[in-house]
Amino acid sequence: MSNPPAAKDINPQWLTAQLRACGHAGVEVTQVIASRIGTGQVGICLLLELTLAGQTQGVPTSLVAKLPSEDELSKTSAVAMGIYEREVVFYRDLAPRLHIALPKIYYCDVAANGADFLILMENLAPAIPGDQLVGCSPEVARAAVLELVGLQAPTWNDRALAERLVEPADGFFSDMHALYNEMLPGFVERYGSRLSKDELGIIQNLGAHKNAPLFQATGVPFCLEHRDYRLDNLMIDESSSPPKVVVVDWQGLRIGRPLNDVALCLAGGLQPQQRAAAEDGILREYHRRLLAAGVQDFSWEACWHEYRRASFAGFGLTIISSMLVVQTPRGDDMFTAMAQRYSRHALDLAADEFFS
């Protein structure tokens, strides 16, 4: 760990050094124009447009820089949860062993205090971020779910990895049940009127059951979990068939249940009727590919059971996160849509049987 540069320090000289360190020895950056992109809740992203001189063949003319949030509440919450450091660890130490599509990284570091970080990555254009509010097509959802095989199969039930990434006993998420119920009243006050009676009911009912899946220890099977596998964190290129999906934003990384990310993706990205029609086919192909990638002792019946159990994964993401980040109009609409789709998913699958 060192002291990553702030946005103001990302100048031509520094960028030249990073490109040369990544194999472009003869290049020089003579000018950089930075502009804000995206609407991240706990970080900011800058598009860096580069003017190059020297040996420029194969050198990117634009990059993306990811830095801490400028909002103190969001940044304080991020540091408390260790999410800036977690993302750096993912790209620096874990990504090389995986087969999931990821952006190329040109610089990646975090300060010792966990509050300052910088990730410099390739610009994935013409791919564009998904939109959690708009949703996606079943084809995009399928592509996103199948990408998860490259994350999960190489880390499936890897106990050494689990010991390395164990969350501290006194960490921010050490008591999810208490944290969920602490945030629940504020969530209900802000969003309750936007939800149907049964949607709000299952959200509140979950908090009353300490043994519900969201609050249980991970157990088996387990693997690396993105934990925020939503459209906003996927770069999507629909010009190809099937669509190409590249996964970004690894700040929520942890060891978790594999179907959590699958459920987040399908329930959060598809409208309920779309999801109900497509989920069986997508899940069966995902299951076949897991087995082909070497996962053993995981039957189709176990996969479906885990999927139903995972329908609560989005509840914590929605209720807790909505109360920890700066409130914005788009954020309110996004958290409402998430609450509606995730609660409808659990209701459709009769997943409240896992409360008992």
**How far apart are alpha carbons 303 and 299 in whole angstroms?**
6
Q: Place 136 in a pLDDT band, splitting at 50, 70 and 90.
A: very high
Residue with tokens 């003017």: 51
For residue 66, pLDDT beyond 80 = yes
Report pLDDT digits (tens) over 260-310. 999 999 999 999 999 999 999 999 999 999 999 999 999 999 999 999 999
Strand partners, 291: none
**What is the average pLDDT across 128-152?**
96
Question: Can you give the residue ranges of every domain in the chain?
Answer: 7-122, 128-355
Tell me the pLDDT tens digit for each residue of 81-124. Answer: 888 999 999 999 999 999 999 999 999 999 988 889 999 999 99
For 128-355, give the CATH class.
Answer: alpha beta
Dihedral, CA of residue 296, residue 94, residue 262 and residue 312, to nearest 10 = 110
Contact residues for 155 (Cβ-Cβ < 8 A; gap 6+): 97, 98, 161, 223, 224
Residue range 226-254, pLDDT digits in tens: 999 999 999 999 998 999 999 999 988 99
Distance between CA atoms of residues 30 and 178, nearest Å? 53
Q: Which CATH superfamily is domain 7-122 in?
A: Phosphorylase Kinase; domain 1 (3.30.200.20)
Longest dimension (CA), the chain: 67
**Average pLDDT for residues 173-180, to the nearest whole number?**
87
For 348-354, what is the mean pLDDT?
97
Query: What 3-state DSSP class applies to 177?
Result: helix
Sign, CA dihedral 291-156-83-7, equals negative
**Which of 12-26, 51-65, 77-91, 121-135 has the weakest average pLDDT?**
77-91
Average pLDDT over residues 19-40: 92
Per-residue pLDDT at 172: 58
* Paired residues of 254 in beta bridges: 225
